[in-house]
Amino acid sequence: MGTRYENPALTVDPVWIDRGRILLVRRARPPFRGMWALPGGFVEQRETVEAAVVRELFEETGLRARPWKLVGVYSGPDRDPRKPTTTVAFLMRGRAGRPRGGDDAAEAEWVLLRRALPLAFDHQRIVHDAVRLLRSLRKRRSRGGPGGSPRSHGRSRRHGPSSGPR
């Protein structure tokens, strides 16, 4: 018989920020019952992290969105009191609607970002990193860098060269 390895559990957390609000759930079960947290949960067998983050978001909030940017990978033996976990967190994009709590969530709500503390697990750190990433993306866009607005770079390509024979 082969060696049996004990590995950390793989989880996902969607971070959806819209108009100064963040989508959070109030935990219905331990650990951290009653506290606000990012929606999320465990990745199932034969499931990608991208599919899992979409599924978990829908199960806990009733909303659909797609992963847009990777916020980060968070790991450590003490992140979750149940067992060691590794989390992949994504910024999400979609049409913001009215959430409803489901599955592990007693309720789901859009909360003003500045009032979204304290959070369960290490979700404050994940939210902090997501906000920092969003600010950096906005700065790049306003300077016309990669991922910037089409207006800042598209004209010459759309209309061809401004001089030379046609």
Prior bond of 146 cis (ω within 30°) = no
Q: Where are the beta strands (DSSP E) in the chain?
A: 9-15, 17-18, 21-27, 36-37, 41-42, 66-76, 85-93, 105-112
Residues with catalytic roles: 107
Determine contact, residues 92/57, Cβ cutoff 8 Å. Answer: yes
Residues paired with residue 36 on neighbouring β-strands, in sequence order = 26
C-alpha span between 127 and 91 (Å, rounded): 10
